[in-house]
A and B are shown apart, each in its own frame.
Chain A
Amino acid sequence: MKAGSHEVVIIGSGAGGGAAAYGLAMKGVKVLVLEAGPKFDPFSDYNLSDESWEKTGFPGKAGSTGRQTFAPMQELDPARGTLLSWSAAGGRKNQTEQRLPFKYFHVRGVGGSTLAFTGEAHRLHPESMQMQSRFGVAADWPVDYATLEPFYSEAERVIGVAGPGDQGARYRSEPFPLPAHPLSYGSQKLAAGAESVGMKWEANSRAALSRPYEGRPDCNYCGNCNRGCPRTDKGSVDVTFLHKAVASGFCEVRSGVTVTRIEAGENDRVKGVHLVDAAGGEHFLSTPELIVSCGAVETPRLLLNSANSHAPEGLANESGQVGKNFMETLFWTGTGLHPDPVGSYRGLPADSISWDFNAPDAIEGVVGGCRFNAGVWESEMNGPIAYAQRIVGGWGVKHKKAMRDVFGRALTVGAIGESLPNPRSFIDLDPDQVDGNGMPLARIHSHLDKSELDRLEFMAAKSREILKAAGAGELVEEYGAYDFFSSTHVFGTCRMGIDPEASAVDSFGKSHRWKNLAVLDASVFPSSGGGESPSLTIEALALRNSAGIY
């Protein structure tokens, strides 16, 4: 693609930007993707073949970590003591009486946070898209499941999703491209436990290849998707959507390019973007069409940082909704020890799941659902350092004997629940802190309302019940969103809707006012769903909406 010949500029190359680039490039539209972070090489950057593998998480390549700040969070409630995080070796994890920020997990790099994601490929529960009209909370999606269904299927084909034949309410027009992965031995134990308490526990739909697919090899069940997949069987955006988009000849990806501001102009059009290239040079790039896909924290930051005389309250913020309605990852993980050797570090992360409580009315007395899954790998309880530091503790002869007794016996139930918006959860610009380009950082305000805490209590209690039924009732660690903000999935800060007074973008992600500006990422979600991982929905939306943009 010749320089300057692009028809669309996309800021961000994660699930939204990557899928939009693919959708447009396949139509022959010339796309330029600007990515602030570096390009990762799966074959050399991911350190899973070295004996020191456990000491490094997903590689912190230069420029791959953004910065955000956090506003002070809520006081902890003594009545919610069963939700405190703790481990057998370390005791209580949060030693204060206040909820603490741990991390917003966000990768800056070509492929975005999908580089480090587990790779669950979930469709939203159809009923979770009408939370306002049915339950009076959050907002309704201006598109429904039936509209998205063909795009879900298309995204699954691009990725090579492996899944079971049937997922209940998530009806399908075609089978998953690949058969479901077998359950690991540890997950078989969890399945038996869950089924003994009346729950259905089934194979999860996964963006990881159960068979070789389009030149990529199948998974070898090393259990470390979150540290980056060196085989490329995990369906991160770099090896799927972007790979195909670039191969089409209609897409160029530039890494190490930070967009600092969008320039709003006259006639309700944006003129282009101000950027800093990898060498530190400042430039202005004009574009006929602009798509913002930076995620639900960085997208509102960029829009708010782009305020000018044409958009005094920030770009696309005529409704005042940019940054509002922030929804986070409401999570719980509980780990127990099985009495027998299980070898639980082996297998595909989150290989199995229960959707029994996923519908928005499935939990008695609480609006909003949740799901449960096998979670030992995502909690990184899959190596000797983790066992030594978090379960066994101690030192000397006794420690080494205990390690041999315990290693591989940990079973973990993970749970993620609906996160409903509330007025105290939002993103704004930090008035005091700026990045290296002098632009104010995003500041995360997070507050868990009673409904979230009640849902979390249900998730914790059910996790304990499953573990006990699986024979792993000897708990050794629990960790949850009650006393730590720790989010991978974030949503809602540029809500889409029909009403321009109550939403930032329309049902195609286009700004209600700015004719050549769209947002395609989880910022546009009016509700979070009942614990589904969002990447597949972001991708399906991006495929559908990019088709409507150009």
Chain B
Amino acid sequence: MKFISRRKFVAAVPVSLSLIGSQELLAGKESESPVTLTLRHWVDTLFPGDDFSPGAGALGVHLQILEKADAIPEYGRLIVSGTGWANGMAAVKGISSFAALTELQRVEVVAEAESQGPKSGPGYFFVHTLQDATNFYYGHRESWAGLGIANPPQPLGYPDFEKAPA
């Protein structure tokens, strides 16, 4: 892959997220912009659903990221560039979009972004979305299934604290 610096990667997109429909999505409209669709599948690849817990997309993690990006124009541009890059990678595989890839193919694309390192545009996109998706994903109690916790620390506390976990 040709290396694209993160500065060029972000600067290539002069639009803010508000111009691409995120506001409408955040307001609950059903139509999903291409950026939002791609980001939903991106975070679902980072935190996929399984027998225990739903994926990040089902919990709305992509919308939380877009909401955060609404207040940080550069982050919004990064997301537009990053999702565009992911769709471009799909096109290389002859598929119309990142969302249309198989799960295995999406994993390959995310792994490619990670492998390019944080000084590259795709790597920078990967690092930031992973960090935020981690924060948002585990901020949903549905994601805790299988970890041994079911509730926040209060109001119940942990009355079984002296014993081996069940």
Question: Which residues of chain A are near B135, meaning CB under 8 Å?
Answer: 55, 385
Given the known inter-chain contacts A185-B161, A347-B161, please indicate yes or no for A407 contacting B130, CB distance below 8 A.
Answer: no
Distance in angstroms between the alpha carbons of A230 and B157 in the assembled complex: 11
Q: Are B161 and A395 in contact (CB under 8 A)?
A: no
Q: Check if A96 is an interface residue, CB within 8 A of chain B.
A: no
Is A276's beta carbon under 8 Å from chain B? no
- B144 — nearest CB in chain A belongs to which residue? A384
Q: Does residue A44 face the partner (Cβ distance < 8 Å to B)?
A: no
Which of A183, A221, A230, A400 has the most B CB atoms < 10 Å from its CB? Answer: A400
Over the window 142-165 of chain B, the binary record of Cβ atoms lying under 8 Å from chain A Cβ atoms (1 yes, 0 no) is 011011110011111111111111
Whether, in the assembled complex, B140 has its beta carbon less than 8 Å from a beta carbon of chain A, the answer is yes
Contact B134 A222 (CB under 8 A): no
Partner among A49, A342, A384 whose Cβ is within 8 Å of the Cβ of B143: A384
**Interface pair B148/A408, CB less than 8 Å apart:** yes
Write out, one digit per residue, whether chain B residues 40-67 have a CB within 8 A of any chain A CB (1) or not (0): 0000011110101100000000000000
Rounded to whole Å, the gap between the CB of B160 and the closest CB of chain A is: 7
The residue in A188, A220, A346 that gathers the most chain B C-beta atoms within 10 A of its C-beta is: A346
Please, how many angstroms separate the alpha-carbon atoms of A145 and B156 in the complex? Answer: 40
Q: A48-B154, A347-B158 are in contact. Are A341 and B165 (CB under 8 A)?
A: yes
Enumerate chain B residues within 8 angstroms of A281, measured Cβ to Cβ: none
Question: Do A400 and B53 touch across chains, with their CB atoms under 8 A apart?
Answer: yes
A475 CB, nearest partner CB in chain B, Å: 22
Contacts of B146 in A (CB 8 A): 400, 403-404
- Cα distance A51–B161 in the bound complex, in angstroms: 20
1/0 per residue, CB under 8 A from B, across A359-399: the answer is: 00000000000000000000000011100110000011101
Q: Does B20 contact A (CB under 8 A)?
A: no
Cβ-closest chain A residue relative to B126: A395
Query: What 0/1 readout, one digit per residue, does chain A (37-53) give for beta carbons within 8 Å of chain B?
Result: 00000000000111111
Q: How far is the CB of A69 from chain B (nearest CB, A)?
A: 26
Q: Which residue of B lies closest to A384 (CB)?
A: B138
Is the Cβ of A51 less than 8 Å from the Cβ of B159? Answer: no
B-chain residues with CB within 8 Å of residue A404 when the two chains form the complex? 52, 146-147
By a CB distance below 8 angstroms, the chain A residues around B164 are 185, 340-343
Q: Which residues of B are found within 8 Å of A220, using beta-carbon distances?
A: 154-159
A345 contacts partner chain B, Cβ-Cβ < 8 Å? yes
B139 on the interface (CB 8 Å rule)?
Answer: yes
Q: B104 CB to closest chain A CB, in angstroms?
A: 11
| Cα-based distance from A55 to B163 in the complex (angstroms) | 27
Asked whether any CB of chain B lies closer than 8 Å to the CB of A54, the reply is yes
Q: Are B154 and A49 in contact (CB under 8 A)?
A: yes
Check: A321 CB closer than 8 A to any chain B CB. no
Chain B, residue nearest A56 (CB): B139
Which single residue of chain B is at the shortest CB-CB distance from A351?
B161
* Minimal beta-carbon separation of A91 from chain B (angstroms): 12
CB-defined contacts of B152 to chain A, threshold 8 Å: 48-51, 53
Name the interface residues of A15-48: CB closer than 8 Å to any CB of B. 48
Cα A389 to Cα B153 in complex, Å, equals 19
Q: Which of B48, B138, B158 contacts A385 (CB 8 A)?
A: B138
**Which residues of B are found within 8 Å of A48, using beta-carbon distances?**
152-154
A383 to chain B, nearest CB (A): 7
Contact with B along A398-430 (1 / 0, CB 8 A): 011001100110000000000000000000000
Chain A residue nearest to B145 in the complex (CB): A404
Check if A184 is an interface residue, CB within 8 A of chain B.
yes
Contact B140 A346 (CB under 8 A): no
Given contacts A48-B153, A346-B160, contact A55 B139 (CB under 8 A): yes
A400 touches B47 (CB 8 A): yes
Asked whether, in the complex, the Cβ of A385 is within 8 Å of the Cβ of B154, the reply is no
Q: Which of chain B's residues has its CB closest to A342's CB? A: B165
B-chain residues with CB within 8 Å of residue A179 when the two chains form the complex: none
Is there a chain B Cβ closer than 8 Å to A224's Cβ?
Answer: yes
Q: Determine whether the beta carbon of A51 is less than 8 Å from that of B141.
A: yes
- Chain B residues with Cβ below 8 Å from A341 are 148, 164-165
- Given contacts A341-B165, A385-B135, A51 and B140 within 8 Å (CB-CB): yes
Binding site for B on A (CB under 8 A): 48-55, 182-185, 188, 219-224, 230-231, 340-343, 345-348, 383-385, 388-389, 395-397, 399-400, 403-404, 407-408
Given A49-B153, A222-B154, A397-B50, 15 more A-B residue pairs with CB atoms under 8 Å apart are A48-B154, A53-B152, A185-B162, A221-B157, A231-B154, A341-B164, A343-B148, A346-B165, A385-B135, A388-B138, A396-B48, A397-B48, A399-B47, A400-B52, A404-B147
The 5 A-B pairs of least Cβ separation, nearest first, read A220-B157, A343-B165, A346-B158, A222-B153, A346-B161
A–B complex contacts, Cβ < 8 Å, 5 sampled: A49-B152, A51-B141, A188-B162, A396-B46, A399-B47
